[in-house]
Structure 1
Amino acid sequence: MRAWKLWQPSLARRLLMALLGAFALVAGVLVLQEYLQFKRQMSEQPGIRQLADLMRSGIANEPDGPTAGRVLAGQITHLNALRRQTGVLPEDLLLQLYDREGRLVYASGPGEPIAQPGVAEQWLQGRRHWTWREDGERWSLRLAEPTLPDVDLLGWLARGLGGSMLLAFPLVLIPLWLAVHTGLQPLRRFAQRLGGLEADQALAPRELDLRYAELRPLGLAFDGLMARLRQRRARERAFVQDAAHELRTPLAVIAAQTHVLVQSADEQGRQEAGERLLAAIRRTSHLSQQLLDLASLDGKTERPHQRLDLVQASAQLLADLHGRARERGLTLVLEAPEQLPRVLDVAAFQTVLHNLLDNALRYVQAGGQIVLTLAGESGGGPGPVPPRGSEASGECEGWTLTVSDDGPGIAPEHRNLVFERFWRGPDVAVAGSGLGLAIVQQAVNRLGGRISLAAGPDGLGCTFTLSVPRAPTLFGSS
């Protein structure tokens, strides 16, 4: 377990590794710069030329060849000894002295004659050398220095730079580590503060030391999350309390009428109690189903979308409700094109349509009219529909559903409240739970649309308008 913790991701460790990588990169760039500069100096002003100038000055006044050779032999022996002591330049310099007739006077070692004047490169004894040749009035001085392999040269430069980098590393690492350690301290306190919170406690941003700009968004985002969770919990608590309150009334009626039904000796009394008992049971069942629908729509699980002809589904529901509308003396009207295929959450659409129509059937007085209107994104009406299966069929286009009635309507100051759970308007005589339009709102959210409420035709009744914008294409063009 300890080994696992050691290798867990860590911001401090990551920063340290980044620092090591930066130092390595800087060292590599510096070594490369020194390498290129060394190459350029060797080509423009090589050290071998300076050595040759020094040796030429030592024999400039020597007329005798053997004497000049002895002078040069002492110099080259001393230089080669110094080179071997460094450990970096173990190979010896090669010195050749010729007289003006081209005869070899002295050579520090075997090797081919250095032929090219000035600075050049030449292979001598199977190895590349920097060479220098200068022909004077009396002597022709020629010098060759073995070139260092690139690998050896880079290694030598790196070793020379390594000491300085190692000295600088702790001077940079210590301040950086202190900055990181102190910078992460507020984050550690933040985590400790969160660990000590109870479920119902709030965490205010002012309680945290978020002085650094990088930590402020974290604190604000968490505070926003906590606020949303508190709001959600408050809504759920209110929902449970309201649901318990709404269920208490029909359950009390059921208990009372059951007692009357059991104790009453009067047949008519038992019959009336039975009817009231049945009505209370229906109300309880309806309320329970609405609560289940609302809980289902509140869930975050996405349901698969299916293809549905909105006109056909609406006509079928109107047909199912025709008997209920006729009993109340209401007229149901459908205004829609011949077809309106769309891909959507079918259950959410059916929930919206059923609850809006059920709401209208409850409140519109006898002799009233309920109009259901469907239209495509262009605001359409009857017209040809492209073949099914093509992108042009409109299955991903937007659409609009409107339910209008000429009932009692809702006052403008109350229209923003109708979608609240358990809200019912003042002086409402029709029995209900106040959940129907709240369920509609949740279903509209599932459909990705917006719903609004306005006055009905001629300023009477209500008009509920659901608008769903264009959805991403789900079909290919074939």
Structure 2
Amino acid sequence: MLFLALAMGLAAVIQGASAYRTALAEADDIFDYQMQQVALTLRAAMGEGAPLPLGDEQSLDLIVQVWGLDGTPLYRTAGPAWLPQRAVLGFSTVQLQGKRYRVLAVLGRSQLVQVAQDLAVRQRMATQLAWRTVAPIALMLPLLIALVWWVLGRSLAPVARVQAELAQRHPGALEPVNATELPTEVQPLVREFNQLLARLQQAFDAQQQFVADAAHELRSPLAALKLQLEALRRAADATSQAAAQDRLGQGIDRAARLVEQLLALARQDSAALGSPQTLALDALCREAVVEASTLAQHRGLDLGLGRCDALSVAGQPQALRMLLRNVLDNAIKYGRQRADLSLVAEGGEALLVLEDDGPGIAEAERERVFDRFYRAPAQAQQASGSGLGLAIAQRVAQAHGGSLALRHSTALGGLRLELRLPLLNTAQGAAPSDSPKSTRADSATS
């Protein structure tokens, strides 16, 4: 409203200034014409020897002076001192007694006629004309402001209603905002806000479900730890104590692994990727294989890195390391004797394949194992786990614009995991950097 009032006031000032300039120009034209008519009439009358015509020149605030050709003053009306004798023929502007005069000098047969007028007269007339133009606007300005205030108030009343509604909501109320009767300009904003509320509701629902699932999953390991501690206290001899301590240590390791995966999943769900970095995916694969080789050797599994093309992707290194660590841990946990990792370029994407010779996953279960805390029956019987590894890997893949799929491994007979990520440069070379046997040897040595 302040801006509109200032804009309307500025428009009135501009219009008044424009009207003043226009009126002043018109007044100059009119008065110059009248001065010219008076001067010509005087010249003609004096040439015929007739008396000087006096009359309207007084009402027009005109000053008339007549000079002889020899410089003798012949006549003047009431006004200031004599105008300059050396007059410029035609129109000119002179300064006399602190005032500015518009002077017209006309040369007759035996005399010089001068007609002058104070420019303040013209300015007063122009001001009066401009004020007559601006006055209605100045009188209408308060009415216009009141009218605009009323229109805006009625138009923005639904916005005030939405504001009051949101101010009274409790933090958990994420219902969509009622957009009826809102101004057309505000409706897109409200639609986007409602979509944001819907996404927040989904995030809160997922968080609540995660907390409920996590509480359920942590109940069993904690209860097992309590029982193992009681068994340790009741152990009668050194052999029983050693066995109880070993079982307690294994239980602590499983609980720590579960908590670590829960925290990793929570971070992956709540945190955005941020600014992606250019990463050498082949280097991450080698690093992950070297880190996992110790665990694979301990379990008697032959973990190798086959063809590994030099490929670059955009993403977060920590998230991709966590993905590789989780899928390699699964292959080591469920594989019997061998697991192979390879990286190639295919169709403008980086294709990472991990195969093992384990029991695999039934086709009907391959989609469900990506759910949190879900474990296929074959996996549940063979090894302990929390059912979060593949869920975390899938979240990371989706956050990087990729996909994760499970299939049957025709080469090793177990599970084949395929990770696809978009490449930064599809024209990168595909020359393998290491052979499977040499990488296997390096991994075992590590």
> Structure 2 length normalisation: TM-score?
0.75
- CA shift at 1:269, angstroms? 6.9
- CA shift at 1:243, angstroms? 0.8
What is the distance in 2 between the residues matched to 1:186 and 1:288?
A: 49
Amino acid at match of 2:405: L
CA contact under 8 A between 1:452 and 1:465: conserved in structure 2? yes
- CA shift at 1:359, angstroms? 1.6
Which residue among 357, 370, 374 is the counterpart of 2:340? 370
Aligned ranges 1:60-99 → 2 under 5 Å: 67-68=51-52, 71-72=53-54, 74-80=55-61, 93-97=62-66
- CA shift at 1:155, angstroms? 6.5
- CA shift at 1:218, angstroms? 3.1
CA contact under 8 A between 2:40 and 2:106: conserved in structure 1? no
CA contact under 8 A between 1:52 and 1:141: conserved in structure 2? no
Which residue among 155, 163, 166 is the counterpart of 1:194? 166
Amino acid at match of 1:107: R
Q: Which has the higher mean CA deviation after the structures are superposed, 16-25 or 418-427? A: 418-427
What is the distance in 2 between the residues matched to 1:362 and 1:34?
A: 93
Q: 1:122 to 1:223 in 2, by over 3 A?
A: closer
Aligned length: 417
1:467 and 2:421 are equivalent in the alignment:
yes
Deviations 1:34-76 (A, max 9, x none): 415633663xx442322443676699668885831xx42x544
Matching residue of 1:8: none
1:185 and 2:166 are equivalent in the alignment:
no
The unaligned stretches of length 5 or more in structure 2 are: 426-446
- CA shift at 1:300, angstroms? 3.6
Q: 1:416 to 1:139 in 2, by over 3 A?
A: farther
Matching residue of 1:48: 32
The unaligned stretches of length 5 or more in structure 1 are: 1-14, 81-92, 380-398, 472-478
Q: 1:59 to 1:306 in 2, by over 3 A?
A: closer
- CA shift at 1:443, angstroms? 4.0
Matching residue of 1:422: 373
Q: 1:53 to 1:375 in 2, by over 3 A?
A: same
Which residue among 377, 386, 394 is the counterpart of 1:433? 386
Could you say what secondary structure the match of 2:304 adopts? strand
- CA shift at 1:263, angstroms? 4.0
What is the distance in 2 between the residues matched to 1:179 and 1:306?
A: 52
What is the distance in 1 between the residues matched to 2:122 and 2:357?
A: 95
- CA shift at 1:410, angstroms? 4.5
What is the distance in 1 between the residues matched to 2:113 and 2:359?
A: 121
Aligned ranges 1:286-365 → 2 under 5 Å: 286-300=257-271, 310-326=281-297, 328=299, 330-335=301-306, 345-364=316-335
CA contact under 8 A between 2:93 and 2:101: conserved in structure 1? yes
Q: 1:121 to 1:401 in 2, by over 3 A?
A: farther
Q: 1:204 to 1:275 in 2, by over 3 A?
A: same
Q: 1:47 to 1:334 in 2, by over 3 A?
A: same
What is the distance in 1 between the residues matched to 2:347 and 2:121?
A: 77
CA contact under 8 A between 1:293 and 1:439: conserved in structure 2? yes
- CA shift at 1:16, angstroms? 2.2
Could you say what secondary structure the match of 2:385 adopts? coil
Matching residue of 2:84: 112
Which residue among 403, 412, 419 is the counterpart of 1:451? 403
Q: 1:436 to 1:210 in 2, by over 3 A?
A: farther
Deviations 1:129-184 (A, max 9, x none): 43334567898653122335999898666645442331120121111011122222
Amino acid at match of 2:9: F
Matching residue of 1:392: none
What is the distance in 2 between the residues matched to 1:149 and 1:411?
A: 105
Q: 1:308 to 1:166 in 2, by over 3 A?
A: closer
Which residue among 158, 172, 193 is the counterpart of 1:222? 193
Could you say what secondary structure the match of 2:60 adopts? helix
Matching residue of 1:396: none
What is the distance in 1 between the residues matched to 2:172 and 2:192?
A: 18
Q: 1:150 to 1:191 in 2, by over 3 A?
A: farther
Aligned ranges 1:148-227 → 2 under 5 Å: 159-206=131-178, 209-227=180-198
CA contact under 8 A between 1:35 and 1:157: conserved in structure 2? no
Q: 1:99 to 1:182 in 2, by over 3 A?
A: same
What is the distance in 2 between the residues matched to 1:183 and 1:259?
A: 72
Could you say what secondary structure the match of 1:421 adopts? coil
- CA shift at 1:463, angstroms? 2.4
Matching residue of 1:258: 229
- CA shift at 1:321, angstroms? 2.9
CA contact under 8 A between 1:325 and 1:331: conserved in structure 2? yes
Q: 1:54 to 1:197 in 2, by over 3 A?
A: same
What is the distance in 2 between the residues matched to 1:302 and 1:367?
A: 36
What is the distance in 2 between the residues matched to 1:235 and 1:137?
A: 109
Higher relative contact order (CA 8 A, sep 6+): 2
What is the distance in 2 between the residues matched to 1:131 and 1:420?
A: 100
Give the alignment's Cα RMSD to 1 decimal: 4.3
What is the distance in 1 between the residues matched to 2:74 and 2:351?
A: 109
What is the identity percentage for the equivalent residue pairs of Structure 1 and Structure 2?
26
What is the distance in 1 between the residues matched to 2:407 and 2:148?
A: 67
Q: 1:54 to 1:330 in 2, by over 3 A?
A: same
Q: Which has the higher mean CA deviation after the structures are superposed, 238-247 or 268-277? A: 268-277
Could you say what secondary structure the match of 2:83 adopts? coil
Amino acid at match of 2:6: L
- CA shift at 1:259, angstroms? 3.4
Amino acid at match of 1:467: L
Matching residue of 1:395: none
Amino acid at match of 1:421: R
- CA shift at 1:334, angstroms? 1.5
Q: 1:414 to 1:181 in 2, by over 3 A?
A: farther
What is the distance in 1 between the residues matched to 2:302 and 2:211?
A: 37
CA contact under 8 A between 2:38 and 2:115: conserved in structure 1? no
What is the distance in 1 between the residues matched to 2:293 and 2:84?
A: 117
What is the distance in 2 between the residues matched to 1:244 and 1:23?
A: 67
CA contact under 8 A between 1:48 and 1:144: conserved in structure 2? no
